[in-house]
Structure 1
Amino acid sequence: MDTPTLIDVANKGINSRLTERRLRRGTQSLASLRNELSVVEEQVQHFAEEVHDLEIRALVSETPLADAESRDAMRHMQAITKHRDYLRGAIAELEVRQDDLLDKLGR
């Protein structure tokens, strides 16, 4: 049987503290990202409604200005949707990292 040396015990303690620190930082980052995602979700909803309204207005009025406003709103909608998707991906990646750190801490 291998008995742990003093260095092994010290290294495990240091690694454990580093892992705990990373977990705390990750938890803070997750909270921040989730808050931002909540705001962005509301913005997506707002832009979706605005795009719908402007598309109807463009169809009814058949003016170049209304058509341009509709296209502009659609570009904004696409940009905010892309940002929302980025946030969802970042949250998923961070959750995986947190799970890995928890597994590492449990060993």
Structure 2
Amino acid sequence: MILHININAKWLENDKDAIDRLVNENMNWKLDQYLQKFEWDDKVCDLKLTLKKNKKSLFNGILQVIVDWKIFRYEREDYKKLDDLINHFFDHFKEELANS
């Protein structure tokens, strides 16, 4: 599977390493079993993660994943911790993969 990751995190430059680490951990460790059903050499997985801080200094985000022409999209607001938001997205993605 070919994985394309696009992370848009304006004004969160200081958190870039943590964001990259969390995305890679989730895709390579937590979801690898669930993504195996899509494991063919010609399959493409496009992951787009958009994160920003709102006026309340809380985190908002959108995760969109397209794999084998199936679209998974999650949007959440007002998270205190950035890692909780990112992990929450991938938990929902994992649940949806398990049920499909």
Q: TM-score range by the shorter chain?
A: under 0.3
Bigger strand share: 2
TM-score by length of 1: 0.24
Which of structures 1 and 2 has the larger relative contact order (alpha carbons within 8 angstroms, sep 6+)? 1
TM-score by length of 2: 0.25
Bigger helix share: 1
Larger Rg: 1
